[in-house]
Amino acid sequence: MNGNGNGNGNGNGNVKGIGFGETELPHKQLEVLKKAVRLEWITIGFLAVTVFLVFLVMGNSQAMKAAWIEDLLSFIPALVFLVALHVARKKPTAKHPYGYHRSVGVGHLVAAVALVTMGTFLLVDSASGLITAEHPSIGSVELFGQVFWLGWLMMGVMALIALPPVFIGRVKMELARELHDKVLYADAAMNKADWMTAVGSIIGVGGIGLGLWWADSAAALFIAGSILWDGLKNMRAAVEDLMDARAMTFDDSKPHPIVNKVDEYLRSLDWVADAGSRARDQGHVFHIESFVVPLSRRTVSLADLEKAREGCIALDWKVEDIVLIPVTELPRVVQESQPARA
């Protein structure tokens, strides 16, 4: 196991004994990790209050029911992040020589499957309400000696809980970038989109009040579609990572730049004619195989390889495990994945 035990990490310093498996996090990433954990506990607390309030005023509204289930589902990414983080910290063993970083990918897949399952269920349930022309009714409730239409309380609760997740999600998005954590990113994306669920519920309930019976089911259909889309998008990303697809950025928008950085560093060495790497995303960190073509008539020593390996590890804390392989020619799959060079 060629781990980052020396802990360089972009010159941010190192905190002994704390990190992901063999990787000891630089100070900056350690602080980010602590902040992410605090935010997830805050999220869980906020969701507990939200779920309770929405349940109290849910009534017979399909949109409110969908919003309530969406809030319940929002627990999953937060809990998965905390559990995966605990598992990923375990040291590699003979049975798990690559460590436990894949727990992040497994957790990502579990959360995605839950979203797809419930999104599909809600989509069918909401569509059936439209097809059968169900006319939901919203009654009245007595509060502080006054009789209110329950719809006002529904809309008031949804307006109250709409904005906090948006701001929390924006913060989590930046933390996910620093930690390269796709579970945290999925959670942040759900938080940022929560305002759409709240607005959809308000429109649905308001539509019932205006006599538009179909507005409630239509709003529920919109919420269900949003849940299903999030689930499918995350499921695809999780499956590709578990199948050792090319390492991507935390939001899966483009190939991760660390692979090119490693190749450029290796090509800069005076004994290397060419270099190319392939990397698999382990969860927070990468396992990289770098193929190096030595200059002709140049004898490559163990010292050369070890110095080159240490230089690669120093590039980024996510270079958890890197193997250098001297070859006479770069493998075809590595050549095809490299960007065009001038």
80-127 residue pLDDT tens: 999 988 888 888 888 888 888 888 888 889 888 888 888 888 788 778
Burial of 312 (0-12, 13-18, 19+ CB in 10 A): buried
pLDDT tens digits for 39-89?
999 999 999 999 999 898 887 777 788 888 888 888 988 999 999 888 888
Q: pLDDT class for 18, splitting at 50, 70, 90? A: very low
Q: Give residue 88's pLDDT.
A: 86
User: From the CA atom positions of the chain, what is the Rg in Å?
Assistant: 25
Q: Which is nearest to 107 in space by CA: 185, 159, 19, 14?
A: 185
Q: Where do the domains of the chain lie, and which CATH numbers do they carry?
A: 19-242 (1.20.1510.10), 258-337 (3.30.70.1350)
Enter the tokens of residue 104.
Answer: 């992040």
Band of pLDDT at residue 11, cut at 50, 70 and 90? very low
SS3 category, 183: helix
| Contact in structure between 18 and 88 (CB atoms under 8 Å) | no
Contact (CB, 8 A) for 7 and 315: no
pLDDT, tens digit, for every residue of 195-243? 777 888 888 888 877 877 788 788 888 888 888 888 898 899 889 888 8
Smallest CA-to-CA distance from 10 within 35, 23, 22, 27 is with 27
pLDDT of residue 147: 67
In the predicted structure, residue 131 carries a pLDDT above the cut 50: yes
